[in-house]
Amino acid sequence: MQKVLITRRWPAAVEQALAERYDLTIRDAPLTETQWHEALQQYDAICPCVIDRLNAEALAVERPRTKLLANYGVGYNHIDLVAAAARGISVSNTPDVLTHATADLAMTLLLMLARRAGEGERQLRQGQWHGWFPTHLMGTEVTGATLGIVGMGRIGLAMAKKAHDGFGMKILYHNRKPVDDATVVAMQAEYCADLPSLLRRADFVSLHCPGGKQNRHLIGRAALADMQPHAFLINTARGDVVDEQALVEALREGKLAGAGLDVYENEPAVTPSLLALDNVVLLPHLGSATTATRTAMGLRVLRNLDAFFTGRPLPDRVV
């Protein structure tokens, strides 16, 4: 039986399915660099997740026993792919299964921002709601507004479709290239080859591009200055796509109306000044957090493990 390590607790049903097929070890604490080295000598496959920093140092083991890092999650910017490939370690991820849960959470943030739901709830809980009045917490109309999608992959597309079909929103999108997809055509989504032309027109901007070097601080001072003062920014992608310090400054200076964040530059740390802003909605990286999705992610990992150890092609190969 192959030895497999999962680095955190998973939904019980998938832990059980894994344990039936593999010699399974479950950890529930971060690994130090030395512990990564030991684990890479000890297990045939390791299933990390977004909070595990598998950088070149952590992967620096001469002849690792581990031949597969089967990531529990779609994003893999926490794994140094070059270092993994150099050690002969394959990497897989879990696309598709978390598309709708993540897009639903982006829509949750969009609605919470527009309708000032966080502010209202805080007010009520603090005993500061003294009854209905016509100018109380007036928000922004979502129906018919313009949504700019940055990164029209699976999740971006799902978000666009929910916003368009459910809320009659006009869709703009920025991507490396136009998406030639029947859904995009049916929505009459407009391609913006350059990011500023999207930022200058969108009432809501939702980020769905990968994290890592290529998109680090894509939304920095210049991009934030391009946004409309009444516009909102939503990030369910990766924290490093947004320069958090520049975001705080832009929010204070009124360059945009608010921000909804599910991901942060230095998770789980959150830039303290964000906490003090009322026009910000902050969630603790909940994008894929439904029971059905977290179970499906585990089963997707299992599918990759099974294929790998029976000599079949990895269904979700990253490297």
Q: Is 50 one of the binding residues for ligand DGY (CB under 6 A)? A: yes
Of 43 and 76, nearer to ligand DGY (C-beta) is 76
Q: Whose Cβ is closer to ligand DGY: residue 277's or residue 314's?
A: 314
Would you count residue 287 as binding ligand DGY (CB under 6 A)? Answer: yes
Torsion angle of the four alpha carbons 281, 250, 277, 283, in this order, in degrees rounded to the nearest 10: 20
Shortest CB 301 distance to ligand DGY, Å: 11
CB 200 within 8 A of CB 224: no
Is residue 267 annotated as part of the catalytic site, yes or no? Answer: yes
Single out the residue of 48, 64, 73, 156 in contact with ligand DGY (rule: CB under 6 A).
73
Cβ count near 195 (within 10 Å): 17
- Beta carbons within 8 Å of 131's beta carbon, 6+ residues apart: none
Contact status: 74 vs ligand DGY (CB under 6 A) = yes
Active-site residue (options: 116, 201, 238, 294): 238
**Neighbour tally for 182: CB within 10 Å:** 7
Query: What are the tokens at 157?
Result: 């597309």
Structure tokens given for 43: 């297990």
Residue 288 interacts with ligand DGY (CB under 6 A)?
Answer: yes
Rank residues 44 and 52 by Cβ distance to ligand DGY and give the closer one: 52
d(CA 274, CA 261): 10
Residues, the chain, total? Answer: 319
> Segment 90-129, which members bind ligand DGY (CB under 6 A)?
98
Strand bridging mode 146-150 / 170-174:
parallel
Contact between residue 58 and residue 86 where contact means Cβ atoms under 8 Å apart: no
285: annotated active-site residue? yes
75 binds ligand DGY (CB under 6 A): yes
Q: Which of 37, 116, 201, 285 is catalytic?
A: 285
- Using Cβ positions, the residue closest to ligand DGY within the complex turns out to be 73
Residue written as token pair 């969108």: 202
According to CB under 6 A, which residues from 238 to 267 bind ligand DGY? none
Write out the residues near ligand DGY by the rule CB under 6 A.
49-50, 73-75, 98, 287-288
The set of catalytic residues is: 238, 267, 285
